[in-house]
Structure 1
């Protein structure tokens, strides 16, 4: 009987699971979106439609979540120490990734998010409307005394309303 049990264990993959399919990861981004009243909000959203495949043979497979194909412009920015973005909407639907330093985004609903290197933000508050205090879009600025370097990927997406986490 011991031999049969040993044979069954040896037949399992090294992980010890009957199914050795890799589990797709989940990564996160902050979405600065606008509701139907023109108020901006910050919502934490998942990237989770990952597929394990190669980008270019003979490179090995890697997890990929392709959100949307289209035209994009890539901009590297360096915000000087104590940079103050004031209240403004994003110029285009854009992905923003801090490379060094930390910065913050405060939405019109008061939700403030601080992001550091490797975190991701999707700016989509172009359809926000001025509130009673004259705020529109979001307020952004640097955290700390140093500069902040960002990678900005502006897309040709049409801004939406009431669609937090629309890239799923």
Structure 2
């Protein structure tokens, strides 16, 4: 039985932010999983010489490609795998992702997915990677940040 869950983008703490995200990762046996994680590795810094300080976290750095993808209503991506580490943020509509272990999640605008299911392994006739698509009758717009030099962790919640 699959369970659909919703991500919560930000949780307030007294003086330290925590941002929830979903990690789509591949274990050492090649099976993909979806795990809810919390990013809390923030430090205080200024982004301008005269501006107020902000809280910053850099889970990945290096060259990145930013893509805005608009999927038409009822779009289904089928089973596939990520070829590089990427962060996905829905901008509009509801997007779903299902892992090989049967876990699925619905992502709403502002939710965050770390997609690092690189090099999954098919077991028998089972599909490999993840399945994804739109929920409902609306188009879905996604912002996708691809990091070609990032290495997938093969354990959950390392994007902290």
Please indicate the TM-score interval, normalised by the length of the shorter structure.
Answer: 0.7 to 0.9
Q: Determine if the alignment matches structure 1 residue 46 to structure 2 residue 27.
A: no
Aligned to 1:81, which of 61, 73, 79? Answer: 73
Counterparts of 2:34 and 2:136 in 1: how far apart (Å)?
22
Counterparts of 1:166 and 1:49 in 2: how far apart (Å)?
11
Secondary structure class of the residue paired with 1:154: strand
Secondary structure class of the residue paired with 2:111: coil
How many Å apart are 1:38 and its aligned residue?
A: 0.6
Q: How many residues align?
A: 146
In structure 2, what is the equivalent of residue 13 of structure 1? none
Q: Determine if the alignment matches structure 1 residue 152 to structure 2 residue 111.
A: no
Asked if 1 retains the 8 angstrom alpha-carbon contact of 2:60 and 2:150, the reply is no
Gap runs ≥5 in structure 2: 1-13
Structure holding more strand per residue = 2
Counterparts of 2:84 and 2:59 in 1: how far apart (Å)?
17
Following TM superposition, where does structure 1 have runs of at least 4 consecutive aligned residues deviating by more than 4 angstroms?
none
CA RMSD of aligned residues (A): 1.2
Structure holding more helix per residue = 1
TM-score, length of structure 2 as denominator length = 0.87
Q: Determine if the alignment matches structure 1 residue 125 to structure 2 residue 105.
A: no
How many Å apart are 1:51 and its aligned residue?
A: 1.6
Gap runs ≥5 in structure 1: 1-21
In structure 1, what is the equivalent of residue 8 of structure 2? none
